[in-house]
Chain A
Amino acid sequence: MIEAARAIVRRDLLLALRRPSDVGTALLFFVIVASLFPLGIGAEPNLLRAVAPGVIWVAALLASMLCLSRLFAADHADGTLEQMLLGAAPLGMIVAAKVLAHWLVAGLPLVAIAPLIALQYDLPPALYGTLALSLLLGTPVLSLVGAIGAALTLGLRGGGVLLALLVLPLYVPVLIFGAGSVDMASAGLSPLGQLQLLGALLVVAAAFAPWAIAAALRISTE
């Protein structure tokens, strides 16, 4: 069982390695979106410092969502998704493996790049840790919840935009606590409460989302 899950993670990482443009696009999108805001709202340092946590979080959220529609679509098109539905491991575990691979490719790099964006916004370096930690806890939740949307919209017309409509309202708590934690830290208060809430969301999502995703996949492929 674990072998099957591990095989999936390894396979997806291998595929991402062979097509590095997929990974790069998400990162590039993250950087571009974050760079657009100062162009739109002006480069006043105090203003940028104040909006930095929110902007970085929204950009990360959008970048993570961009890769979601491809999570199951490629496998669905060439028939490998069917084989996963008939795999030797419970579908929830198989699906969790796919989401893990997706996060490693589309979520974790964002955590790594975020301090660079924070630099662009002149966010005090003391806050980098909180920012990175909030993204580290939050991006897996985004991947897990987003995967439910990806599974539900599998093969539908207008897939990408529909996926966004379904999934963005569900992203709101993660965004609020994620950006909020950095805001608390910048005000000199402890971000621990928000980070713990993010952690709680992660635990709940990790426990329940795989089964919802599995159910959604079965609904979409029947």
Chain B
Amino acid sequence: MSAAIRWFWFASPQTFFPLAGRIALACWAGAAVLAAAGLYVGFFVAPTDAQQGEAYRIIFIHVPAAWMSMFLYVVMAFWAALGLAFNTRLSSMMASAIAPTGAWMTFLALWTGALWGRPTWGAYWVWDARLTSELILLFLYLGFMALQAAIDDPRRANRAGALLAIVGVVNVPIIYFSVQWWNTLHQGASVSLTRAPSMASTMLAGMLLMALALWLYSIAASLTRVRCIIRERE
């Protein structure tokens, strides 16, 4: 089959179902392996930081989770927009499937941020730019999920969610920029969790490994969830 036909062949939920299963399985395995490697590097190989001691190690989860949370939102908006433009059910299902994973990533980033903040700066929550942006991103994810949950008609739910996701993705840079500015204005607790310790190459390696692990995990989780959605709706 030519490439174009193959695309549309897999655009049908029925045919995508088994493929998704195989990819998901591979990704689960890959994610487990990379996570083990990343955590090993992060917790045992990377050197102790001079200023922050052992507690800083939580950034090996915090930073990749934050990256994934933002990346997943864009991916989700992409699939939603595709579903809206071409009226393909599978694209919308992918968007709905990604949302909870994205929300979890955001929650993980916030939680690990709090755990990092406590021993380092003395407070569980500091209103620094990134944590605040992550919090707003969490609300955006939850809003998307709540809207889809409130609409019974699947077609309207997909299209309404898609519009919301598109509006959200356009606003995210504006929100981020405004929160950055807000943070510089109110210096108050001038702590910044973005001021990570200067990167030794092992630290960078550890973070990249974890980022890849979370990425594969996200793919696996989303594909597994999309299989559930397909089974539910078809």
Contact = CB atoms under 8 A, between A and B. Distances in A.
Interface of A: 148, 152-153, 156-158, 162, 165-166, 168-170, 172-173, 176-177, 180, 183-184, 201, 212, 215-216, 219-220, 222
By DSSP majority rule, is chain A's interface helix, strand, loop, or mixed?
helix
Nearest to A152: B160
Contacts of A169: 136, 139-140, 143, 168, 171, 175
B67 to A, nearest CB: 20
B164 interface: yes
B167 A148 contact: yes
Given A169-B175, A173-B175, A177-B178, A153 B150 contact: yes
Contacts of B168: 169-170
Interface of B: 136, 139-140, 142-143, 146-147, 150-151, 155-156, 159-160, 163-164, 167-168, 171, 174-175, 177-179, 181-182, 185
Q: Top 9 nearest A-B pairs by Cβ distance?
A: A173-B178, A176-B178, A169-B139, A166-B143, A219-B159, A176-B182, A156-B150, A165-B143, A169-B136
Given A156-B151, A219-B160, A165 B185 contact: no
A65 to B, nearest CB: 14
Contacts of A168: 139
Contacts, number: 69
B185 A180 contact: yes
Given A212-B163, A212-B167, A219-B159, A183 B175 contact: no
A177 B140 CA distance: 20
B107 to A, nearest CB: 15
Contacts of B179: 172, 176
22 contacts: A148-B167, A152-B163, A153-B150, A157-B150, A162-B147, A165-B139, A169-B139, A169-B140, A170-B167, A170-B175, A172-B175, A172-B179, A173-B174, A173-B178, A176-B179, A176-B182, A180-B181, A183-B185, A201-B174, A216-B160, A219-B159, A220-B156
B187 to A, nearest CB: 12
Contacts of B182: 176, 180
A162 B160 CA distance: 13
Nearest to A189: B185
Nearest to B142: A165
B184 to A, nearest CB: 10
Nearest to A183: B185
A94 B143 CA distance: 27
A177 B185 CA distance: 11
A61 to B, nearest CB: 14
Contacts of B140: 169
Contacts of A162: 146-147, 150
Q: Max chain B CB contacts within 10 Å: which of A148, A170, A215, A216?
A: A170
